[in-house]
Structure 1
Amino acid sequence: MSFSVLMYHEIRKEQEFNPEKPSHIDVKQNYDDILPSPLFVTLEHFEEQMAYLHEQNYQTLTLAETKDYYRGKTISEKSVLLTFDDCFQSVKEYAYPILKTYGFRATAFVVTSWLQDTAKEFNPKESVCMTKNDLADLSDVFEYANHTHSFHQRSNAETSKMMEASDEEFSLDLDTCNEFVGVKDVFAYPFGLFNERNVSLLRKKGFTLAFTTETGKNDRQTDPLLLKRNAIPYFINLDTFKKIVQ
């Protein structure tokens, strides 16, 4: 038995999304980056995907259920874990009401230094991070896990600030993020970048699940600190989506 993990970041109405002009991020931390177009999904496709999961009786896994699977418990043959990275406004604007309608659960990975102090008006031209109060408003659908406090920055395409940090610095950063997030033993590697030292430290600190951006399904032979996730980009059709989750 295996399961798929789906990775989302940003959602836009098709008419408001231009893949040739991806969004700059707007976060509290002094860091600027551009969110690549494949990390966007259109609202129309997202609605279609969630409707399909509902119609086909898929179970949306919680993190506790995922941990239990690796302790030997069974899960439904139709199980999927929904994850959203970075906590941008479209999660509240679009994803939350759709997930709530279907009774779905989801996980959001939080970069705590990115959370805004004051809520901003939704802006489809920028990837604006939410506030802690926003996340509290979504907590009947979402649970929150660690995506670092301040190390979601990249030096180049192959190296993140987390990878350059010492074990002591990374450990302290994890602890700082864990002061806010509710699930304190689950992690998502920023940009999907990591090294063996990062994985070893997570293991030493008692983390039970950690998510990469390697595509594919997970089973009990998958290292739970190297779980695979499938990005769902704006350009895939429903048939391709079905192949990912089936």
Structure 2
Amino acid sequence: MKKTKITAIVALAITVSVSALLIVFHSAANGKPTVNQKRNTLNSVNMAKKERKVPTDKPKDMQKNKLSGISMNKERNMPVLLHNLSSKRGIPILLYHHILKRSENTFTRDPAVINLEAFEEQMKYLYDLKYHIATMAELESYLHGGEVPNKTVVISFDDGLKTNYIYAYPILKKYNFRAINFLITGRLAQKPVPFQPEKLQYLSWPEVDAMRDVFEYGSHTNALHDKVLGFPGLIAEPDQVILNDLTISKNLLKTNFFAYPFGAFNDRAIRLLKLAGYQYAFTTIPVDARFGDNPYTIGRIAIYPNTDLDQFIKIVQTIK
């Protein structure tokens, strides 16, 4: 009887082991990452920092951004370094999301929502100090060894929110600034809707077209700015799902530029971006863009509600 029980237990253990192997094999064959692969993908930021020789330790006092998934360091003191091809400082690429008047901002705990008054102050500073706001073509040239003025920054927006049209666009146009907006194309409306500041609203295609004198457009995926079982869609979905999504968004926008949702990426995501025809991809790693950067791990510096003007000046100051 004991021998029979032992034999049954051994048989059960073998069955469980074989089943587990089949699950892993099935996941790999379908292009969907296993649990271990998913864990590995979360090291993408560390991978990029190692590539740029940036310390991997997370700064203290980090908070998660509810709107976009980027991380926030409440007390960032950016270094003030020289800016040119031979210097340690490159081009700061500023990252914005949502802009509201102070009086109508109900998203006060969301670090991706800044007040209109602060945005106006920051843009006026760049204008008064005669900063050059680079286009994507100028940034592309710089990354390959081209020259840009010392006082150069890039302005970028993620998500394609309606306040980019209501508030950001008139200010940028007033100062004759250019910017790039990374759109979630699947969330764009076919026609404009009335503005409701208490809601998170997205742009419409007519509004996108109306801003082309100021904004260039890049992809923030078509419908993968979501999470699957806690993992960003760009990381968790099968290869073909991701490739199809990237292709749809690229064809709609006719762009070579991409920004990673939630700042998350890995080797597989980069490979699929290349297959879809994208040439440049932007992270949320707070480092400047520099000559010789990997074009698929370009850093950007997020601007937060508590970024005061002194901190902003340190972020954009490219010469001593």
Does the pair score TM above 0.5? yes
Q: CA RMSD in A?
A: 1.5
1:179 — aligned with what? 251
2:205 — aligned with what? 132
Offset from partner CA, 1:196-245 (integer Å, 9 cap, x none): 21012223444221110011212124212101111111111000011111
Q: Conserved in 2, the CA contact under 8 Å of 1:143 and 1:182?
A: no
Q: 2 CA distance for matches of 1:110 and 1:192?
A: 14
| Larger Rg over CA atoms | 2
Q: Percent identity?
A: 35
Q: 1 CA distance for matches of 2:133 and 2:253?
A: 20
Quote how far apart the aligned CAs of 1:156 are: 6.1
- Aligned residue among 231, 245, 259 for 1:188: 259
Q: Any stretches of 5+ residues in structure 2 without a counterpart? A: 1-83, 85-89
Instruction: Report whether the alignment pairs 1:141 with 2:214.
Output: yes
Q: Any stretches of 5+ residues in structure 1 without a counterpart? A: 23-36
1:87 — aligned with what? 160
Q: 2 CA distance for matches of 1:244 and 1:83?
A: 14
Residues 1-246 of structure 1 mapped to structure 2, 5 A cutoff: 1=84, 2-20=90-108, 37-155=110-228, 159-183=231-255, 185-246=256-317
Higher helix residue share: 2
Higher strand residue share: 1
Q: Report the AA paired with residue 298 of structure 2.
A: L
Q: Conserved in 1, the CA contact under 8 Å of 2:188 and 2:202?
A: yes
Q: Report the AA paired with residue 142 of structure 1.
A: F
Quote how far apart the aligned CAs of 1:182 are: 3.4
The runs of 4+ residues in structure 1 deviating greater than 3 Å are: 203-206
Question: TM-score normalised to the size of structure 2?
Answer: 0.69
1:29 — aligned with what? none
Q: Conserved in 1, the CA contact under 8 Å of 2:185 and 2:222?
A: yes
Q: Report the AA paired with residue 100 of structure 2.
A: R
Aligned length: 229
Quote how far apart the aligned CAs of 1:117 are: 2.3
Partner SS for 2:252: coil
Q: 2 CA distance for matches of 1:40 and 1:200?
A: 32
Q: Conserved in 2, the CA contact under 8 Å of 1:8 and 1:231?
A: yes
Q: 2 CA distance for matches of 1:135 and 1:242?
A: 30
Over 3 Å counting, the alpha-carbon distance change for 1:156 and 1:165 in structure 2 is closer
1:31 — aligned with what? none
Question: TM-score normalised to the size of structure 1?
Answer: 0.88
